[in-house]
C-alpha cells in the first residue's frame, strides 16, 4: 500500500482504485483506521489527538485525494 503522507508519527496510505467509497488508511502507534475521503467517516480506532490532525490533513488535501482516486 503506497504511503502518501507521514506526520507526527501518523502514516497515511492509499490504494488507488481500491473499492468504493474513496478512502485512505491511517496508522498511528497501535491504532489503524480507514477514513472516507468524502464524508470523513471513520472505521476503526485512532487516538483523539491523531484524529484531529488527520481531519486537518484531510481538509487540506481532499480535492487532490479525490482526483487521484
Instruction: State yes or no: pLDDT of 17 exceeds 90.
Output: no
Enumerate the domain spans of the chain. 3-68
Q: Report pLDDT digits (tens) over 28-55.
A: 999 999 999 999 999 999 999 999 999 9
Distance CA 39, CA 33 (A): 14
Distance CA 18, CA 36 (A): 12
pTM, entire model:
0.91
Mean pLDDT of 48-68: 97
Distance CA 65, CA 69 (A): 6
Distance CA 69, CA 59 (A): 16
Instruction: State yes or no: pLDDT of 56 exceeds 90.
Output: yes
Q: What is the pLDDT of residue 11?
A: 98
Amino acid at each position: 500500500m503506497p504511503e502518501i503522507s507521514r506526520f507526527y508519527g501518523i502514516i497515511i496510505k492509499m490504494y488507488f482504485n481500491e473499492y468504493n467509497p474513496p478512502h485512505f488508511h491511517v496508522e498511528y502507534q497501535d491504532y489503524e483506521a480507514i477514513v472516507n475521503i468524502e464524508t470523513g467517516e471513520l472505521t476503526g480506532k485512532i487516538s483523539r489527538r491523531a484524529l484531529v490532525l488527520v481531519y486537518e490533513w484531510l481538509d487540506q488535501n481532499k480535492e487532490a485525494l479525490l482526483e487521484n482516486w
